[in-house]
Amino acid sequence: MISIHKIDLKSKSEIDRFVQFPFDLYAGHPQWVPPFRVDIKAMMNPAKHPFYEHSDAEFFIAEREGRVVGRIAALENKPFNQYHDSKDAEFYLFETINDQEVADVLFETVTNWAKDRGLTKLVGPKGFGPLDGYGIQIEGFEHRQMMNMMNYNYPYYRDLVENLGFTKVVDFVSSYIDPQQFNLPEKIRKAADIAKKRGTFEVLDFRNKRHLKQWADKIGQAYNQAFVNNWEYYPLSEREIDFVISNVMTVVDPNLIKIIAKDGEVVGFVLPFPDVSGAMQKNGGKLGPLAILRLLQEIKKTDWVAFNGVGILPEYHGLGGNAIMYAELEKAMHQNTQFVHAELTQVAETAEQMRKDLTNLGVKFYKNHRVYQKDI
């Protein structure tokens, strides 16, 4: 028999059981990258995570004979619902053994939680912020997860949720690129050169993290505005922007960052991150001094780079901004011969212009994560 238990967020032992489950479920799996345990615990801490300043979340585990066999988080993102005039509940951190009964009980629990709040649809996986990773993976299981910028799951997850009547909302596709072979069509490069000569846009490079931090607030504001037409968008609070920027500074290489500015304001960006997945696997979710040293060493030796944040403010599409953005993407790939593999992580299919651009640039779509929905 399966029992459901709501996690007491004041209980360290209960939080630890929730956090530990995927470490047991994916133990030894070569493609799974353990998240930092402190990151998951931050999501479960209303005093620390900015999500709770405007929204609510609760966490549940499923047990059979005293053993954890599944877990799930239920979220109500109130700014998202207000912005989109919707009544969605989200699910996230969904993990389970290959057992339909366990999935049924977990989703029944979240459904009841949502109904009690007057919500009418269940959507997910969808997390606490823009870098948490979206969807259930449905393609590309042979490839390693890109850090904690996306989720990894067993192939049976798709069947479990679709058996419950969930249907597709949107796919987030990740692309593989050979950075040294990535070359823009000449017409895009010329358009970028023309836009630069006009003097409308300025491209900023950064010497070090200190220099980058001087622009951090403006980068965060631009990030918040660049994706207003995307399905997943909602206006982030100041603290949420600060939270995101603070997290990405851990693994960012300032020399790779490219910023497009106009009149001293950030209007576009190319945000590459050296892939530290190998170090994260060795660290096993820990983030102590030795773990941090491994991460820093991995930044210097990894041959993979992830682009998780390539955007231009919508009002500059078609004015040369897009061409400059892709020219800077090319430059970021070519300037460091350390990287022989690159991934453009999780672009929503609703980002139509960017998906069209990527297709024209000849990238290889090689992973797919699907966000599901169900009326309740």
Is residue 189 domain-shared with residue 149, that is, in the same domain?
Answer: no
- Domain termination site, one of 172, 205, 230: 172
Is residue 135 domain-shared with residue 273, that is, in the same domain?
Answer: no
Confidence band of 345 (pLDDT split at 50, 70, 90): very high
Q: Does residue 375 fall inside a structural domain?
A: no
Please tell me the predicted confidence (pLDDT) of residue 212: 83
pLDDT tops 90 at residue 350: no
Please tell me the predicted confidence (pLDDT) of residue 102: 98
When computed from its CA atoms, the radius of gyration of the chain, rounded to whole angstroms, is 21
- Number of other residues whose CB lies within 10 A of the CB of residue 3: 11
Please tell me the predicted confidence (pLDDT) of residue 200: 79
Is residue 28 domain-shared with residue 138, that is, in the same domain?
Answer: yes
Please tell me the predicted confidence (pLDDT) of residue 255: 80
pLDDT tens-digit map of 57-69: 999 999 999 999 9
Please tell me the predicted confidence (pLDDT) of residue 73: 98
Residue 177, strand partner residues = 342
Name the token pair of 259. Answer: 């910023």
Q: How many residues can be counted in the chain?
A: 376
Is residue 130 domain-shared with residue 191, that is, in the same domain?
Answer: no
Residue 144's alpha-carbon distances to 44, 132, 281, 310, 344, in angstroms, are 26, 17, 11, 21, 14
pLDDT tens-digit map of 29-50: 999 999 999 999 999 999 999 9
Is residue 168 domain-shared with residue 196, that is, in the same domain?
Answer: no
- Can you tell me the distance from the alpha carbon of 317 to that of 181, in angstroms, rounded to the nearest whole number? 26
Please tell me the predicted confidence (pLDDT) of residue 24: 98
Is residue 71 within 8 A of residue 55, CB to CB? The reply is no
- Domain termination site, one of 172, 188, 219: 172
Is residue 187 domain-shared with residue 330, that is, in the same domain?
Answer: yes
Is residue 167 domain-shared with residue 220, that is, in the same domain?
Answer: no
- Number of other residues whose CB lies within 10 A of the CB of residue 292: 14
Please tell me the predicted confidence (pLDDT) of residue 191: 86
Please tell me the predicted confidence (pLDDT) of residue 186: 86
Q: What is the 3-state secondary structure (H, E, C) of 202-262?
A: EEECCCCHHHHHCCHHHHHHHHHHHCCCCCCCCCCCHHHHHHHHHHHCCCCCCCCCEEEEE
Q: Does residue 309 fall inside a structural domain?
A: yes
User: Total structural domains in the chain?
Assistant: 2
Instruction: Go through 200-218 and write b for each residue having 16 or more CB atoms within 10 A of its CB, e for each that does not.
Output: ebebbebeeeeebeebbeb
pLDDT tens-digit map of 157-171: 999 999 999 999 999
Q: Chain-wide mean pLDDT for the chain?
A: 91
Q: Does residue 373 fall inside a structural domain?
A: no
pLDDT tops 80 at residue 249: no
Task: Taking residues 131-150, report their average pLDDT.
Answer: 95
- Domain termination site, one of 143, 172, 201: 172
Please tell me the predicted confidence (pLDDT) of residue 276: 95
pTM attached to this predicted model: 0.93
Residue 371, strand partner residues = 170
Query: Which one-letter amino acid corresponds to residue 111?
Result: T
Please tell me the predicted confidence (pLDDT) of residue 376: 96
> What residue numbers bound the domain in which 16 lies?
2-172
Burial label for 318, CB within 10 Å (0-12, 13-18, 19+), is: exposed
DSSP structural state of residue 369: E
Please tell me the predicted confidence (pLDDT) of residue 58: 98
pLDDT tops 90 at residue 320: no
The CATH number given to whatever domain includes residue 297 is: 3.40.630.30
Please tell me the predicted confidence (pLDDT) of residue 42: 96
